[in-house]
Structure 1
Amino acid sequence: MPRPANPETRSRLLEKGGDLVSTRGFNATGVQEITAAAGVPKGSFYNYFDSKEAFAVAVLTEYWEAVVAEFGAILNQGQTPPLSRITRYFAGLAEFHERRRYAVGCLIGNMALEVTPTSEDVRIKLAAIYREWSAALASCLREAQENGELSAGKDPGQLAVALIDTFEGAVMRAKVERSRAPFDSFERFVLPSLLT
């Protein structure tokens, strides 16, 4: 089906609908609510997305691109030691959640829990995001090994996955407790134990 040439409408649907999905959950957010929030007729939704599932994939893409745009450069600041970059990276992500008052959590983690049991397309998108996230961290960790900051006996790929998994756990706990305490624990206990 041909797509209309109105990128502003699509962007509005993604922005407003993404906000709703972040705060209410994917399954609790209907197409009518998404279009109402974006100020477009309900039928317009399907001019931009083949299904609500396709919308979920697009929302995840937008969310991940925003995270990379805001925080990704931290991992590539060559003048800063690699392990300091990783610490700053996770501190930045924690501050992002703090600005949102811990109420929303991480859309990636939220969608992984809520939608992957029923949507293969969303699961595939999330797997790609986790691979990209892991690769970015692993690259920085390899650099730390080359500089002698990180033990040569540690596997950068596995360590990157462990960092993401424990951080995502801290995000979920912060959402439940509406508190920074899980991020403080991550910074005080997890980072030092994994990065030494």
Structure 2
Amino acid sequence: MPRPANPLVRESLLDAGMTLFHSQGFNAVGIKEITDRAGVPKGSFYSYFDSKSAFAAEVLKKYWAGIVRRHTAVLRDETTPPARRLTLFFEALTREHAEHGFALGCLVGNLALELSDDNREARRELTVIMDHWSRLLAACLADAGGESSVAGSDDVVDLASMLIESWEGAVMRGQIDRSSVPYDRFLATSLPRLLGARAPAVQGRRAP
């Protein structure tokens, strides 16, 4: 009779995968490295996940859930103007990336560039995450209504997508340079231009 699945083992595998994929990439990491880091036998991996791609999908889901939990409440804070909420959201992400010297980048963006069409489960999860992210930003933008602080697009979903695309480009450049400069440029220039407003000045961050 097979042993029942242990949720603690599953979470340990996901945590190990998230750390390894974020620091080394998807293709550079093997199943044995994941199970070794999680402290479980290699054979146990397939008791929890059908494939490495299915595993990556769950890692992405966990990674994104963490971002939602830590950072998206500000987007729904009706006591703060929508443009300011967006600035606070991206500033919080910037601080998190700074904790790793801007070396790791965004796991969503990293795997989007690395995963092939064969990794169907993981790529489907990337689509789900991008759609959810766009909806979160679009809902915040929609709150602006007729405010002059957010202008220039009748379609807030398109504008939300543009914000994400600009952000991910800044993250990639920051990862290459190991520098806050692309993040500062996004916050001080790209974000306010996309919003059609002048965002609060970025203070206290300099290139390493």
Cα deviation, residue 146, structure 1: 4.3
Aligned to 2:40: 40
Question: 3-state SS of the aligned residue for 1:91?
Answer: helix
Q: How does 1:94-133 map to 2 (within 5 A)?
A: 94-133=94-133
2:60–2:108 contact (8 Å) kept in structure 1: yes
Aligned partners of 1:45, 1:4: CA distance in 2, in Å? Answer: 14
Question: 3-state SS of the aligned residue for 2:144?
Answer: helix
Flag structure 1 segments of 5+ consecutive residues without an equivalent: none
Cα deviation, residue 74, structure 1: 1.1
Q: Which has the higher helix share?
A: 1
Q: How does 1:26-65 map to 2 (within 5 A)?
A: 26-65=26-65
Aligned partners of 1:114, 1:4: CA distance in 2, in Å? Answer: 34
1:4–1:48 contact (8 Å) kept in structure 2: no
Aligned residue identity for 1:20: L
Q: 1:137-156, CA deviations, whole angstroms, 9 ceiling, x for partnerless residues?
A: 00100111244532374421
Aligned to 1:135: 135
Q: 1:92-142, CA deviations, whole angstroms, 9 ceiling, x for partnerless residues?
A: 111111112111111100110001433122111101100000000001001
Q: Which range moved further: 76-85 or 150-159?
A: 150-159
After TM superposition, the runs of 4+ consecutive aligned structure 1 residues lying more than 4 A away are: none
Flag structure 2 segments of 5+ consecutive residues without an equivalent: 197-208
CA RMSD of aligned residues (A): 1.5
Aligned residue identity for 2:158: Q
Aligned partners of 1:18, 1:190: CA distance in 2, in Å? Answer: 29
Aligned partners of 1:174, 1:100: CA distance in 2, in Å? Answer: 11
Cα deviation, residue 192, structure 1: 1.3
2:13–2:34 contact (8 Å) kept in structure 1: yes
2:17–2:34 contact (8 Å) kept in structure 1: yes
Cα deviation, residue 59, structure 1: 0.2
| TM-aligned CA distance change 1:3 to 1:57, over 3 Å | farther
Aligned residue identity for 2:91: A
Query: How many percent identity over aligned positions?
Result: 46
Q: Which range moved further: 146-155 or 169-178?
A: 146-155
2:83–2:149 contact (8 Å) kept in structure 1: yes
Aligned partners of 1:9, 1:156: CA distance in 2, in Å? Answer: 41
2:5–2:48 contact (8 Å) kept in structure 1: no
Aligned partners of 2:39, 2:126: CA distance in 1, in Å? Answer: 28
